[in-house]
Homo-oligomer: A and B are copies of this chain.
Amino acid sequence: LAVKSAPHGVKMTVVRFAGSGGQGLMTSGRILAQAAGLYDGRTVVQTQSYGPEARGGAAKSEVCIADAPIDNLKPTRIDVLLAMNQASCDKYSGDLKPAGVLVADSSFVDKPPREDAYCFPFTFHCRDVLGNPVVANIMALGFLFILTDVTSRQAMDRALTDNVPPRFLELNLRAFEEGAREGAKARDARAGREGF
């Protein structure tokens, strides 16, 4: 665990995308980083690992978003974790802050390590409803987007358009939209439950 840190007192949000190689985690990280940095004008540093470190089913891409320069690199905790498989859930959920948000793809995560995890079968849903499991990362990004409110919707749409081949844009936008809708449902269900 090693992420960027902002000067003391500056609010910084750290989002980690984790799972197996090929699940689109680097792309999701890049889209979020570009949305927040290029289009929302925030300070963003994105880190990604390749090679042996990224193997063993726990590859990761990390995005640090702040409103001030991000100067120092030192170990710190993460605010949001998207875990697309069990290995990355097991490996990284301990890095999450107590009040952090864990989103898990329950297509591949049987045992979420926290009771308050948001579980949704992104990959199975994209396969069965959208006809293509490959956009699971984008659906998960939409889900995260609603729960964390870390970028504007307009910035997300622009970054999606930049990073997706034109012929797949409609599919990706639909996946993002479905993710946002499911994320809103999950958030509202929890708000209702916590209200009792």
Contact = CB atoms under 8 A, between A and B. Distances in A.
A53 B45 contact: yes
A46 to B, nearest CB: 5
A99 interface: no
Interface stretch (A35-43, A90-98, A104-112, A134-142): A35-43
8 closest Cβ pairs, A-B complex? A37-B50, A37-B51, A73-B73, A2-B73, A44-B50, A44-B51, A47-B47, A43-B51
A7 interface: no
Contact of A52 (B43, B46, B48, B72): B43
B50 A36 contact: yes
A41 B47 contact: no
A88 interface: no
A38 B51 CA distance: 5
A151 B37 CA distance: 30
Q: How many monomers of this chain does the complex have?
A: 2
A33 B40 CA distance: 27
Interface in A45-103: 45-54, 69-75
Contacts of A41: 51-52
Given A73-B2, A75-B73, A34 B53 contact: no
Contacts of A73: 2-4, 73-75
A53 to B, nearest CB: 5
A70 B50 CA distance: 11
A161 to B, nearest CB: 16
A74 B3 CA distance: 10
Contacts of A53: 43-45, 69-70
